[in-house]
Structure 1
Amino acid sequence: MDGTWAIERNLEALKRILVMLVAMAGMGAARPGAGGVGTGDVGAGSLGAGGVGPGGQFTFFPRKGEAASRLAQAEKSKLSPALTLPRHLYLAILRLLRPAEAAARRLIIAAALGLVVKLPPLRPRKPKPAMLRGPRAFLPKGPKKRAKVTLRTWSLSLLDPPRRLFHIPRRPVPAHAAPRILGLDFNATYRPLPPPPSPDDPINAARLGQRLAALTAALEDLPGQAKRFARWKARRDAAIARGPVSGRRLSPLRRGRPPGGRLSRYDPSATNPRNIREVDEILAHAHALAVYALEAPDTS
Structure 2
Amino acid sequence: MDWQVAIERNRAALRRVLAALIAMAGFDRRFAPEAQSCHAGGSATGGEGRDAAGGSGDPAGGRPTLPRRLHRAVLRLLRPTESAARRLIIVAAKTLPQAPPAPEPARPAPRPGGTQPNAAVSVLRSLGIAIVIPPSTVLAPRRSVPAVRRPPASIALPLADRLRNPGPRLRTVPPHAAPRILSFEGAVPHRLPPPPTPNDRLDATRLVLRLRALAAALDDLPRQARRFVRWQALRARARARGLKFRISPLRSGRPPGARSASRPLDHEIHEVLRDLHWFAHQALAGPDTS
Query: Do both proteins adopt the same fold according to a TM-score greater than 0.5, normalized to the shorter chain?
Result: yes
Within 2, Cα distance between the matches of 1:106 and 1:245? 25
Q: What does residue 104 of structure 2 align with?
A: 122
Q: Shift of the alpha carbon at 1:258?
A: 0.4
Q: What does residue 13 of structure 2 align with?
A: 13
Summarize deviations over 1:157-216 as a string: whole Å, max 9, x none: 1111111111423322x333345555434x544554432111111111111111001000
1:298 and 1:193, CA in 2 relative to 1: closer, same or farther beyond 3 A?
same
Summarize deviations over 1:96-126 as a string: whole Å, max 9, x none: 0011000000011011114224555434457
Q: Shift of the alpha carbon at 1:4?
A: 2.0
State how many pairs are aligned.
246
Are residue 86 (structure 1) and residue 67 (structure 2) matched?
A: yes
Q: What does residue 212 of structure 1 align with?
A: 211
Q: Shift of the alpha carbon at 1:222?
A: 1.2
Summarize deviations over 1:243-297 as a string: whole Å, max 9, x none: 4332x11211010000110045xxxxxxx85454211111110000000000022
Q: Shift of the alpha carbon at 1:27?
A: 6.4
Within 2, Cα distance between the matches of 1:131 and 1:181? 62
Give the stretch that moved more between structures: 284-293 or 193-202.
193-202
**One of 37, 55, 58 as aligned partner of 1:56:** 58
Summarize deviations over 1:59-82 as a string: whole Å, max 9, x none: xxxxxxxxxxxxxxxxxx6xx4x2
Q: What does residue 155 of structure 1 align with?
A: 156
Specify the SS of the correspondent of 1:85. strand
* Mapping of residues 173-212 of structure 1, within 5 Å: 174-179=174-179, 182-185=182-185, 187-189=186-188, 191-212=190-211
Q: What does residue 245 of structure 1 align with?
A: 243
1:114 and 1:46, CA in 2 relative to 1: closer, same or farther beyond 3 A?
closer
Within 2, Cα distance between the matches of 1:243 and 1:198? 52
Task: Name the amino acid aligned to 1:233.
Answer: Q
Are residue 131 (structure 1) and residue 113 (structure 2) matched?
A: yes
Are residue 45 (structure 1) and residue 40 (structure 2) matched?
A: yes
Within 2, Cα distance between the matches of 1:298 and 1:138? 57
Q: Shift of the alpha carbon at 1:298?
A: 7.0
Within 2, Cα distance between the matches of 1:139 and 1:129? 12
**One of 83, 100, 109 as aligned partner of 2:81:** 100
CA contact (8 A) 1:130 1:138 kept: no
Bigger relative contact order, structure 1 or 2 (CA pairs below 8 A, ≥6 apart): 2
**One of 261, 275, 286 as aligned partner of 1:285:** 275
Within 2, Cα distance between the matches of 1:46 and 1:154? 25
Q: Which has the larger radius of gyration?
A: 2
Specify the SS of the correspondent of 1:104. helix
Q: What does residue 268 of structure 1 align with?
A: none
Summarize deviations over 1:30-70 as a string: whole Å, max 9, x none: xxxxxxxxxxx954316899663666339xxxxxxxxxxxx
Summarize deviations over 1:119-143 as a string: whole Å, max 9, x none: 554344576144279xxx8899xxx
1:139 and 1:199, CA in 2 relative to 1: closer, same or farther beyond 3 A?
closer
CA RMSD between the two structures: 3.7
* Mapping of residues 263-282 of structure 1, within 5 Å: 263=260, 274=264, 276-282=266-272
1:28 and 1:233, CA in 2 relative to 1: closer, same or farther beyond 3 A?
closer
Specify the SS of the correspondent of 2:94. coil
CA contact (8 A) 1:51 1:57 kept: no
TM-score, normalised to structure 1, is 0.69
1:28 and 1:89, CA in 2 relative to 1: closer, same or farther beyond 3 A?
farther
1:189 and 1:164, CA in 2 relative to 1: closer, same or farther beyond 3 A?
closer
CA contact (8 A) 1:110 1:293 kept: yes
